[in-house]
């Protein structure tokens, strides 16, 4: 209720002014979603930075309890708009710790012609129950996303650290290209008591992404597989260029030392951090 899409768009255009290439999802937790123009589809087509919709909340007491029909309509709108624009129009779906798991997404896939790749359910590591539901979704061919901003209180409540979740998903036979990680940076990380009352709010940090890669490596995941969960696989999920080092791609690069610490950052070929020192204002 207090953050607007206009504010977010203005903020990420500030990053663009520093040479960083930002992207934006139209929408919100709620259904009908919040948008900037006439609809989420119009946002995708008309606003350069918008590449999809989300994160739409399901299976959560904080969601607006959307139906399978409502999800299907929104996903179809985003898909068609994405086809016009040349992106996937992927729907990022917030998965809470409610009773239904990913059942609503399965219903959409079972009752419509929308391909399973149109959805990217996130927070799949929030509990063992949701993790198992996520594996079942992935075994149908869907992508799953693990959240890296795990706090000690979340772990105490049953959340699986993202790096460990990646290792377990790979061990369960999930193809690497179906696994992504995201930070939830800047988002609120609420903690509730047994009665469902809000008792504390933390904030997600972007630095948790690279830490989750380190954790995945510590759990036996090869570095080249771990790093693609936050690079190539994410770009592929949203149908955007990038996420890989190749001729013709933008030179958006992180140089990482032997301890897997970020040493140097290039944005479109221009250094914005060198030897852990920022060359632009933090």
SS3 8: helix
Residue 267: strand pairing partners = 270
Task: Specify the pairing of strand 270-274 against strand 262-267.
Answer: antiparallel
Question: Helices marked H in the chain — which ranges?
Answer: 5-17, 40-46, 68-85, 103-111, 128-139, 152-156, 162-171, 208-218, 223-228, 232-238
Q: Which of 184, 193, 215, 257 is catalytic?
A: 184
According to DSSP, residue 254 is labeled E
Mark whether 184 is an active-site residue. Answer: yes
SS3 162: helix
**Count of beta carbons in the 10 Å neighbourhood of residue 207:** 13
SS3 192: strand
First to last CA, the chain: 27
What angle do the packed helices 128-139 and 162-171 form, to 10 degrees?
40
Q: Which sequence positions are flagged as catalytic?
A: 184
């Amino acid at each position: 209720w207090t953050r607007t899409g206009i504010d977010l768009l203005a903020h990420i255009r500030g990053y663009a002014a520093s040479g960083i290439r930002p992207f934006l999802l139209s929408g919100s937790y709620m259904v009908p979603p919040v948008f900037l123009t006439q609809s989420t589809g119009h946002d995708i087509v008309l606003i350069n930075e918008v590449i999809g919709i989300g994160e739409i909340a399901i299976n959560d007491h904080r969601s607006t309890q959307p139906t399978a029909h409502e999800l299907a309509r929104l996903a179809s709108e985003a898909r068609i708009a994405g086809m016009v624009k040349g992106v996937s129009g992927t729907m990022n779906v917030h998965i809470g710790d409610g009773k239904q798991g990913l059942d609503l997404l399965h219903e959409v896939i079972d009752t419509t012609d929308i391909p399973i790749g149109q959805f990217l359910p996130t927070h799949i590591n929030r509990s063992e129950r949701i993790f198992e539901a996520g594996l079942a979704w992935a075994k149908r061919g869907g992508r799953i996303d693990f959240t890296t901003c795990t706090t000690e209180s979340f772990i105490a409540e049953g959340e699986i650290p993202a790096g460990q979740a990646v290792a377990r998903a790979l061990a369960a036979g999930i193809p690497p290209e179906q696994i992504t990680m995201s930070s939830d940076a800047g988002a609120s990380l609420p903690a509730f008591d047994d009665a469902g009352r809000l008792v504390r709010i933390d904030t997600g940090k972007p630095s948790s992404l690279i830490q989750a890669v380190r954790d995945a490596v510590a759990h036996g995941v090869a570095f080249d597989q771990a790093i693609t969960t936050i690079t190539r696989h994410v770009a592929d999920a949203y149908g955007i260029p990038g996420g890989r080092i190749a001729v013709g791609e933008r030179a958006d690069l992180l140089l990482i030392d032997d301890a897997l610490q970020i040493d140097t950052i290039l944005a479109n070929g221009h250094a914005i951090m060198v030897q852990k020192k920022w060359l632009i204002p933090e």
